[in-house]
Amino acid sequence: MANEEHLGILMQGVHAWNSWRMRNPDVIPDLSLADFDLSKTIFLKDLDFFEINFNKANLRQARFIGFDLSEADFSEADLGEADFSSSTLSGAILNRANLQSATFIGAKLNKAKLNYSNLVNSDFSKAKLVRASLCGSSLNNSILKDADLSGTLLVGANFNQAKLINVSLLGANVNEASFVEAYLTNAEMCRVQALGTDFSRTEFTGVCIEDWNVNKHTKFQDIDCQHIYLRTGRKERCPSEGKFSIGEFSKRFQIDKNIVELIFYNNVSWKAFAYAFNESNIQILDEYGGELFLREYRVLDDGLVTIKVSHPLNVNSDRISEIIGQKTFEFELKIAQLKGEVKAKDSALSMMFEKLLSTPISQTNYQIQSSNVQIGENSIMSGDRNINTGGGNYIESNNGTYIQGDYISMSQDLACAATQIQDLIEQLQRRGVAVGDAQDQVAQDMATQAQTNPTMQDKLLKWGQSLGDATVSDMVKEAVKLAIRSAGIPLP
């Protein structure tokens, strides 16, 4: 039962309650079984819980029916079996709270923070969690039928055996989350980030996967799927008729671990690539006893071209990228020499080629300038393209995707990391993004990684501490400051 003294202080209003909490930080408020159902109690209608401090409070089985709890602090509170039906918790903080078997039917939790919380057996039916954050939380056996989780951060969350029927995950980030034996029937997963996500034994029928992003670590083992949609609005059913045979979905959409993705800027010369591909194949066959196969190419919205190539399992993907890159520039060098545009020993192109041979492929951007073949949405590719597809599926697409920086692997020394951060900002500018928006986007990426990765959080803190000493551009300094603020880290 609720402590009568604590309940009486609460009834005096948020200001009196928060002041009492500040004066008595060691007291754990006990409001268990308290009933704040507006539909039953008239005098509660004037009670305002906006920005109230319920940090670490005992609120087991409490009922907050229809209340405005926006910006309220429930961090580390015990809310087991609590009922928040039809309440508003926009911007509320529920990090590391116990919400096991809690009810949020029809509740609004837009931009709420529920990171690392226990939400096992909870009910979020028809709830709104737009741009909320539930990183690392446990939602096993929870119900999210008809819920809206658009743009929500769900990195590392556990949805095993959860029911997410008709849920919207539009633009959500479910990287490294687990949906083992979950029900995702008719879910909207357009533009979802699902790198390293486990969908093993998931019910996947009717899901829309337009522009979703998966990688070779995403698991589709024994997935149960009769059909999917490739476009929003339940358009482009796949297969167009009938249903997938057992295991067919996994075979179609599982990205093999022996796939390397090559990125070319300013379109690609297919003659150069065909030469490079075939010459690389000869070298790979000679050195490793296997062949390369072209699997997919995509023309992105900003003019980038990505090409996926499968290779023998006994070859490192970076080695494949390195060989193909070398052969591509070798072709361009030969063409330039034949045209008499440069001299082999002292030309800039020759120096570029020599630099390529000594530079790791991961640090090189290939800018193929040849105009032999222009690839666009409505263009027709011409020229010789004698490329080995190995009899497998060859996919052509022009759907775009966003490429984020790997900040976690950057140096802890801001002066060293600044060049990479600057490059990412300039890369966005080259795509037509204004400098301020580019800074904001890079800062948000850093903040997002810091919120889910302690190593990145420590690194961001050290960068912030060295802002005054490091010799870096104002552009990088502003991006780091924005990231620190967004991640909630106090500025040094």
- Structural domain ending residue among the three candidates 225, 255, 285: 255
pLDDT for residue 403: 42
Please indicate, yes or no, if residue 229 is contained in any of the structural domains: yes
Tokens of 444: 């948000």
CA-CA distances (angstroms) from residue 433 to 244, 426, 429, 490?
A: 41, 9, 5, 28
d(CA 97, CA 81): 12
Count structural domains, the chain: 3
- Structural domain ending residue among the three candidates 364, 397, 430: 397
Residues 183 and 245 grouped into a single domain:
yes
* Mean pLDDT of the 134-149 span: 97
- Structural domain ending residue among the three candidates 367, 397, 427: 397
Question: In this model, does residue 334 exceed pLDDT 80?
Answer: no
Please indicate, yes or no, if residue 418 is contained in any of the structural domains: yes
Residues 270 and 365 grouped into a single domain:
yes
Please indicate, yes or no, if residue 40 is contained in any of the structural domains: no
Give all strands (DSSP E) within 165-289, no chain letters. 193-194, 213-214, 228-231, 235-238, 259-265
d(CA 296, CA 393): 8
* Mean pLDDT of the 444-468 span: 80
Residues 286 and 369 grouped into a single domain:
yes
pLDDT for residue 66: 84
pLDDT for residue 39: 44
* Mean pLDDT of the 360-380 span: 31
Question: In this model, does residue 106 exceed pLDDT 90?
Answer: yes
* Identity of the highest mean pLDDT range in 28-42, 75-89, 257-271: 75-89
Residues 426 and 335 grouped into a single domain:
no
> Containing domain of residue 383, as a range?
259-397
What proportion of the chain, given as a percentage, has pLDDT over 70?
A: 75
Nearest to 174 by CA among 139, 205, 203: 139
* Mean pLDDT of the 85-102 span: 95
- CATH label of the domain that carries residue 144: 2.160.20.80
Query: pLDDT by residue (tens digit) across 276-316?
Result: 888 888 898 888 888 887 777 777 655 667 787 888 878 88
pLDDT for residue 407: 64
Please indicate, yes or no, if residue 290 is contained in any of the structural domains: yes
Q: In sequence order, what are the beta bridge partners of 83?
A: 63, 103
d(CA 89, CA 141): 22
Residues 429 and 465 grouped into a single domain:
yes
Cβ contacts of residue 240 below 8 Å, gap of 6+? none
Cβ contacts of residue 464 below 8 Å, gap of 6+? 480, 481, 484, 489, 491, 492
pLDDT for residue 111: 95
pLDDT for residue 34: 61
d(CA 258, CA 213): 17
Residue 405: band (very low, low, confident or very high) from pLDDT cuts 50, 70, 90: low
Residues 302 and 279 grouped into a single domain:
yes
Q: Per mean pLDDT, which range of 175-189, 198-212, 322-336, 368-382 is the poorest?
A: 368-382
pLDDT for residue 340: 58
Residues 219 and 240 grouped into a single domain:
yes
> What are phi and psi for residue 246, nearest 5 degrees?
-60, 125
Taken in order 459, 460, 461, 463, the sign of the CA dihedral is positive
* Mean pLDDT of the 431-447 span: 80
Please indicate, yes or no, if residue 127 is contained in any of the structural domains: no
Nearest to 116 by CA among 89, 138, 99: 138
Query: pLDDT by residue (tens digit) across 239-272?
Result: 888 999 888 888 777 766 677 777 766 556 777 7
Please indicate, yes or no, if residue 316 is contained in any of the structural domains: yes
Question: In this model, does residue 33 exceed pLDDT 90?
Answer: no
Query: pLDDT by residue (tens digit) across 54-81?
Result: 888 888 888 888 888 899 899 999 999 9
pLDDT for residue 416: 76
CA-CA distances (angstroms) from residue 235 to 192, 300, 445?
A: 17, 21, 31
pLDDT for residue 381: 33
d(CA 40, CA 289): 76
Please indicate, yes or no, if residue 370 is contained in any of the structural domains: yes
Mean pLDDT of the chain: 77
* Identity of the highest mean pLDDT range in 196-210, 251-265, 382-396, 423-437: 196-210
Residues 314 and 328 grouped into a single domain:
yes
Contact between residue 167 and residue 192 where contact means Cβ atoms under 8 Å apart: no
Residues 386 and 328 grouped into a single domain:
yes
Nearest to 419 by CA among 476, 340, 483: 476
Please work out, in degrees rounded to the nearest 5, the angle formed at the alpha carbon of residue 463 by the alpha carbons of 462 and 467: 120
Residues 356 and 455 grouped into a single domain:
no
Residues 267 and 280 grouped into a single domain:
yes
Residue 491: band (very low, low, confident or very high) from pLDDT cuts 50, 70, 90: low
Cβ contacts of residue 126 below 8 Å, gap of 6+? 105, 106, 145, 146, 147
Question: In this model, does residue 119 exceed pLDDT 60?
Answer: yes
pLDDT for residue 345: 43
Residue 346: band (very low, low, confident or very high) from pLDDT cuts 50, 70, 90: very low
Contact between residue 480 and residue 460 where contact means Cβ atoms under 8 Å apart: yes
Query: pLDDT by residue (tens digit) across 216-241?
Result: 788 999 999 999 998 888 888 988 88
Please indicate, yes or no, if residue 149 is contained in any of the structural domains: yes
Question: In this model, does residue 395 exceed pLDDT 90?
Answer: no
Residues 153 and 218 grouped into a single domain:
yes
pLDDT for residue 402: 36
Question: In this model, does residue 473 exceed pLDDT 70?
Answer: yes
pLDDT for residue 1: 59
